[in-house]
Amino acid sequence: MFSCIDTGIIRPSSSPFASLITVVRKKDRTIRLCIDFHRLNSVTIFDAEPIPTLDELLAQLTGSKVFTKIDLCKGYWQIPMDEDPKLFTAFQTPLGLMEFNFMPFDLCTAAPTLQKAMRKAVGHLPHVASYLMIFSSMARLGKTICLTWRPHGKPFDNII
């Protein structure tokens, strides 16, 4: 949590709203703090951005020979939130009430928002958007995927 404060991902809040956190032990025995946004998500208007199915993505990859990977492990935290909705992301911690400056993973609109950002960043590049959309589909299936950056030519210079 301290690293999220230090990097500006979260900040102290005076919001009238507060979601609860749950402590989950990961396979490597470290701790992950998960925020329960179910109440917020239940009143949020869902963004119907289409996210391709895994079958659609695999069909698009057929015959490909060169694959490039981009680190999307903290992709959600690359998307700044507008000031007004930040108060709705507030959550209780031992350090007091905090809120997000950048999009948290657990919001129901997170995956569609990331999908739009990826499409905007690489949609003009042939075949690149297909590869990047795999992350959203995998996240939607409940999988965690970490991709690393390995550039394969000039078209990728504009992404980073």
Residue 37: what residue type?
F
List of domains in the chain: 2-158 (3.10.10.10)
- State pLDDT tens for residues 37-84: 999 999 988 877 777 777 877 777 777 776 666 666 677 888 999 999
Sequential DSSP letters for 47-97? P------HHHHHHHHTT---------TTGGGGSBPPTGGGGGG-EEETTEE
**Cα–Cα distance between 74 and 158 in angstroms, integer?**
19
SS3 call for 29: coil
Q: Tell me the average pLDDT of the chain.
A: 77
- State pLDDT tens for residues 4-26: 899 999 999 999 999 999 888 88
Q: What is the pLDDT at residue 13?
A: 98
Q: What is the pLDDT at residue 71?
A: 62
Element (H, E) at 117: helix 110-122
pLDDT at 152 over 90: no
Kindly give, in sequence order, each residue whose CB lies less than 8 Å from that of residue 6, ignoring residues fewer than 6 positions away.
none
pLDDT at 159 over 90: no
pLDDT at 89 over 50: yes
Segment 90-108 shows an average pLDDT of 93
Q: What is the pLDDT at residue 56?
A: 78
Percentage with pLDDT > 70 across the chain: 71
**Cα–Cα distance between 9 and 56 in angstroms, integer?**
33
**Cα–Cα distance between 52 and 11 in angstroms, integer?**
34
pTM of the predicted structure, to 2 decimals: 0.70
